[in-house]
Structure 1
Amino acid sequence: MKIDQISLYRLKMPLKYPFETSFGRLMFKDFNVVGVHSGGQVGYAESTSLPYPVYNEETTGTVSYMLKEFLIPRLFSKQDIVHPQEVDELFSPIRRNNMAKAVLEGAVWDLYSKQNGISLARALGGKKNEIEVGVSIGIEASIDEVMAKVEKFVADGYKKIKVKIKPGFDVELIKAIRKRFGMDIPLMADANSAYTLKDIDLLKELDQYGLMMIEQPLAYDDIIEHATLQKQLQTPICLDESIHSAEDAQKAIELGSCKIINIKVGRVGGLTEAIKIHDICQQNNIPVWCGGMLEAGIGRAHNIALSSLANFTIPGDTSESNRYWEMDIINPEVAFKEPGKLCVPESSGIGYEVNEEALTKYLVEETVIKNDQVLQS
């Protein structure tokens, strides 16, 4: 394929409800959407960066800058792209900036799938026709408020309940959920790097509650101390922020730093690298699941496609569109086929159409680039 044009959209979408983690409180999603044009067709992807550098070093602004100044010119330098994996190789000399790389590479994957008349899931090697999904519950003002959400989402049929924890809002929360709902609901805790090895005794208290996993309890860039902690815990550790590449995953597995890995496309630099991590984990009997970054519909569609790969055996965070948005940017919106399950689209590309009305409604800035020249901004 020869890339004719790149469209960049910066959107700002209000969340239906505030979402809080140990990083802070989000009231809206400020993010980039990329459209890659070739031969009259367009592939789309969505950046997972946040407006400020608290999950990783990237922001909505830095992603936009990297796309315009470095990544799009490199993509235009390639006269013909046979397969999206070539984009991963093309971007490899540029250090990190994984979310910026991922959104452009993801749009090429969607375009490639459309041009070949196959679904993105099949292009990635996925075989599943449906996936099970979970839901993520942020930190609330009280345990009772979390409990009310757990009750609702269990009733809705979600196959995994993830609750955010932080120091002072952890053991008592998990204890209360287990007391109210029993040991049978699939429950995990996400710490978002809020603890240190000084908290081993506290974290060991969670062992008695039969959690599926505790996600990223220690530093965002650590795999060494997580190995020390995993030896002390019965509960499986899942690594998130620490894993940026297949090499990171291999090292973490060899060190015994975790028993599960969360794969986020933006964090690892794109779908090509995500597949590599999936394959390494599968070879080492480490289950994976697809984490969420409060994606709108385009990003959600990419996550569904990725989750169709065989080793995604744990329900991911890809909940329905109406969990977060009054109006999503795709048609149809992401909705259950039955409680806790989503269909993997069979039509070409991501399997959803862009909702132009919503795109216009949430649009903050649009830039069109062709042959390294800004045509409209």
Structure 2
Amino acid sequence: MAIERINLYKANMRLKNPFQTSFGVMQEKEFFVIEAIDHDGNRGYGESVAFRSPWYTEETVKTTEHMLEDFLIPILQKSEIDHPNDVFRLFRPIKRNNMAKASIEGAIWDLYAKQQNIPLAKAIGGEKTTIEVGISIGLQPTIKELLDKIEAALATGYKRIKLKIKPGQDIEMLKEVRQHFPVTPIMVDANSAYTLEDVDHLRKLDAFQLMMIEQPLAHDDIVDHAFLQKKIETPICLDESINSLDDAKRAIQLGSCKVINIKIGRVGGIYEAKRIHDYCKEMGVDVWCGGMLEAGIGRAHNIALTTLSNFTLPGDTAGSSNYWYEDIIQPEVIVEQGLIQVPTKPGIGFDVKEESLNRFTSSSKTFTFN
């Protein structure tokens, strides 16, 4: 897999609507597009997912830039790569920084699939030709605005609704939602907004027959989640706590969750995401693919990952138009009746719109290989 050069683009795109979680509100998404080019002119693309502030994990846009420029790209410049799986091994001496690692590993996977003239989904062992998707709805200023957004999402055909919650915006909100949508598949995401002192409060969620509650306790916790899962009927889904296959093994063995959300960026790339998927399948634990407000390249990677057989629950890969006025890929990701058709073109299956990428890019750098 001889690489001729890597181009690093820093881009900034504005979300159609502010996205609010228990941590705050975001409307501008700054990220990197990594373009890996071989001697035959094949181009593979990856996308970084870290935010400007370290509210989700410790990584940020700036730390991603630092890791790519000063460590990860230099490692690839002096190494031979026969297969994208090699990238995981090469990056292993670098502790954590999983989002930075995943961004460049994604470009290598896309390049490899294009060199092999096969879709990325096939390259990673995917089986599905369509994937089911849900939608994530942030905290809204009023209950009416929330209900309107849910109604619109269901009219579009999304297979499940994910709602953000936090103390003070949870039980009463869900009562209203369930009154209007009594049988809709609904899950909630707490983004670590609660503690074990809230056990009795969280037990009230059982009345709403939720698919799951995602990451109710601390972002790095596995032990307390095991205690909480024994106290509530609502399945716990772990997100931020699962950064590796080892984390997944510990969580499952302790009974900390019944579902795992796999995000490519959070676990360090497709290779590790596949390993977590395979272990969960072996242990009978459902998985689904979470989203990080990705632009089109990141969404394309999520689509490919979700074609693996144990992604049994609808993921967060909503259509491009749900988030962006304009995406950087063509065609854009389209959801029809809650389904995305898996592309069959080589690589990620979408073309990067160079004019759009250039317009959204604030700076770029090129790294050459021998």
Q: Aligning the two structures, in what range does the TM-score lie when normalised by the shorter sequence? A: over 0.9
Cα distance in 2 between the residues matched to 1:118 and 1:360: 27
Distance 1:71 1:339 in 2: 40
- 2:54 is aligned to 53
Q: Which residue of 2 aligns with 1:102?
A: 102
CA distance in 2, matches of 1:72, 1:29: 23
1:252 equivalenced with 2:251 (yes/no): yes
Contact 2:3 2:369 in 1 (8 A): no
SS at match of 1:110: helix
Moved more, 360-369 or 93-102: 360-369
Q: Deviations over 1:244-283 (max 9, x none)?
A: 0000000000000000000000000000000000001000
2:291: which partner in 1?
A: 292
Whole-angstrom distance in 2 between the partners of 1:278 and 1:224? 21
- The aligned runs of 1:1-377 (5 Å cut-off) are 1-39=1-39, 40-79=41-80, 81-182=81-182, 184-336=183-335, 338-371=336-369
What SS does the corresponding residue of 1:67 show, helix, strand or coil?
helix
In structure 2, what is the Cα distance between the partners aligned to 1:186 and 1:141?
Answer: 23
Counterpart contact for 2:210–2:234, Cα < 8 Å? yes
- Contact 2:19–2:26 (CA under 8 A) maintained in structure 1: yes
Unmatched 5+ residue regions in structure 2?
none
Instruction: Report the Cα distance in structure 2 between the residues aligned to 1:23 and 1:84, rounded to whole angstroms.
Output: 35
TM superposition score normalised by structure 1: 0.97
For 2:341 and 2:204, how far apart are their aligned partners in 1? 38
State the one-letter code of the partner of 2:257.
C
Q: Provide the C-alpha distance between the structure 1 equivalents of 2:61 and 2:15, rounded to a whole number of angstroms.
A: 17
Cα distance in 2 for partners of 1:263, 1:146 equals: 26
Aligned AA (1:257): S
How far apart are the structure 2 equivalents of 1:234 and 1:113?
Answer: 43
* CA displacement at 1:197 relative to structure 2: 0.5
Match of 1:293, SS state, is coil
Number of equivalent positions: 369
CA distance in 1, matches of 2:55, 2:4: 35
Distance 1:139 1:197 in 2: 23
Q: Which runs of 4+ in 1 moved over 6 A?
A: none
The residue identity in structure 2 corresponding to 1:61 is: K
* Partner secondary structure for residue 73 of structure 1: helix
Report the TM-score when normalising by structure 2.
Answer: 0.99
User: Deviation of residue 345 (structure 1)?
Assistant: 0.9
Q: Aligned-pair RMSD on alpha carbons?
A: 0.8
Deviation at 1:22, TM superposition (A): 0.7
Residue type at the aligned position of 1:209: F
Counterpart CA distance in 2 for 1:144 and 1:257 is: 35
Distance between the aligned counterparts of 2:173 and 2:282, measured in 1? 36
SS in 2 for 1:4: strand
Residue in 2 that maps onto 1:375: none
For the residue of structure 2 that corresponds to 1:201, the secondary structure is: helix
How far is the alpha carbon of 1:371 from its aligned partner? 3.5
Counterpart of 1:368, as a letter, is T
Deviation digits for residues 67-94 of structure 1 (CA, Å, limit 9, x no counterpart): 0100001011113x21100010000010
Residue identity (%) = 56
Letter in 2 for 1:76: Q
Q: Give the Cα separation in 1 of the matches to 2:121 and 2:232.
A: 36
Deviations 1:3-49 (A, max 9, x none): 11010001010010100001110011110110011121110010110
